[in-house]
Amino acid sequence: MAWLDEIQSPQDLKKIPEERLPEVAAEVRELILHTCSENGGHLAPSLGVVELTLALHTVFDAPRDRIVWDVGHQAYAHKILTGRRDRFPTLRKYGGISGFPRRAESPYDTFGTAHGSTAISAALGMAAARDIAGEDYNVVAVVGDGAMTGGLAYEGMNNAGGSRKNVLIILNDNKFSISPNVGGIAHYLTRITTTPVYRELENDAWKLLGMLPALSKEARTVAGKLKRGLKRLTIPGVLFEEMGLQYYGPVDGHNVHELITVLRELKKIPGPVFLHVKTVKGKGYEPAEADACTFHGLGKFDKVTGKAQKSSSPTYTNVFAEVALELAAANPRVVAVTAAMCDGTGLAKFRDKYPGRFFDVGMAEAHAVCFAGGLATAGAIPLVAIYSTFLQRAYDQIIHDIALQGLHVVFCVDRAGLVGEDGATHHGVFDIGYFRQIPGIVLMQPRDENELGHMMA
């Protein structure tokens, strides 16, 4: 039986026996894989959250309950389960459905998300509006694919912890953004998930409590203190709980039954809750699991072999990458900076040849630009390679931290102009306007590969 034929909405999903949900997951994965092989798309991120999506739509009552998908390219399974299965083959095509959540497309897309780290702030705003209106729906933010390397996520968490609003934040921890995650938070999460002492102590504590009669309010308080005490003994920092969030996990993000059980329990807990879910990016498709960077987002490919259809023509990104290497070879002061887009901006070869002069700062464009300013004050010549649409997030830093001080920073603006399949959120159509009005900026637009090289020099 084709389960997807029976699912036109999350209400239909709830009618399917829980023990059959792994079969539904397999069908969803096959549809995502087939469509991306024909149209291109963000394959690996969406394959990794299929079970989590099934669990969310089983436990929560969307669209009354609000689910916000951070970054947005994790939302393919969500689209399939919310009445857009028949239109899913139009993904990324003209007139077709968007590759990201889009409010105008469906009431299930509660917030437009395509740039990382926005979901927590948006979800908290929804929760605040809910409380003002005296309503009682649930609000869930699903954060992942590197969004935790962006500062906006921490601003949202800090506010959520202080507000005490009822909101559930789910971290889809797959160790990747577009490239492997970098920075302190990535190492912190690894320490959490590799601390067996804590997991054993926590399990033993809950087994003991489960042997007791129905807990009184006082006993529940003691149980909570016990759990917090265990964390302080075994996990360094307890970052999320110190921010005022109630931390749970890590949980296996591919065990749909465990996810459903956990989510049902967390629905009952008041205040801001943080659920840490471990997933595999590209889950269920061997080439994507083996090479999550390549299969993060790609064009058409052979789904049997996993080989992508490559153009024989060089791209501006390719040419930029080669010129950057030439400049670095000729001048030891040349360094490269990117914001979680090493592969997308063509800097992988630079990273491999000059690791000490390459800086990937994570999904943190504002920090990348200010960091480049610091480099420039000490005599380095930073090549800052960021997509046009993402560089918008660092507009203040371009003005205040670079231009106002007259610092020598070269902004290498990738994906400028209309970018087709990714849609409006990724169209780099404002860069000429926002650069031209800044005093001291030299703005150059190459007409061909040769001119690009001369301009960079």
What would the DSSP string read from start to end of 1-26? --GGGG-SSHHHHHTS-GGGHHHHHH
Please state, in angstroms and rounded to a whole number, the distance separating the CA atoms of residues 261 and 266. Answer: 9
Considering the candidates 66, 281, 283, 357, report the single residue annotated as catalytic: 281
- Integer Cα distance of 367 and 149 in angstroms: 11
Q: Which two tokens stand for residue 275?
A: 């659920």
Query: 79, 84, 102, 393: which one is catalytic?
Result: 393
As given in the structure block, the two tokens for residue 222 are 């003691």
The residue type at 280? V
- Determine which one of 84, 92, 365, 415 is catalytic: 365
* Nearest-angstrom CA–CA distance, 88 and 98: 9
H or E element, residue 276: strand 272-278
Say whether 29 is catalytic: no
| Angle at 224 (CA atoms; ends 142, 197), nearest 5 degrees | 80
Task: Give exposure, 308-343, as e/b (b: 16+ Cβ within 10 Å).
Answer: beeeeeeebbebbbebbbebbeeeeebbbbbbbbbb
58 to each of 16, 102, 110, 438, how far by Cα in Å?
9, 22, 17, 50
Kindly state the tokens that stand for 209.
Answer: 């409590």
- DSSP E strands, 14-88: 66-69
Please confirm, yes or no, whether 393 is among the known catalytic residues: yes
For residues 261, 263, 268 and 274, what is the CA-based torsion angle, rounded to 10 degrees? Answer: 130
**Pair type for strands 246-252 and 334-338:** unpaired
8 Å CB contact between 394 and 366: yes
What are the residue numbers of the active site? 281, 365, 393
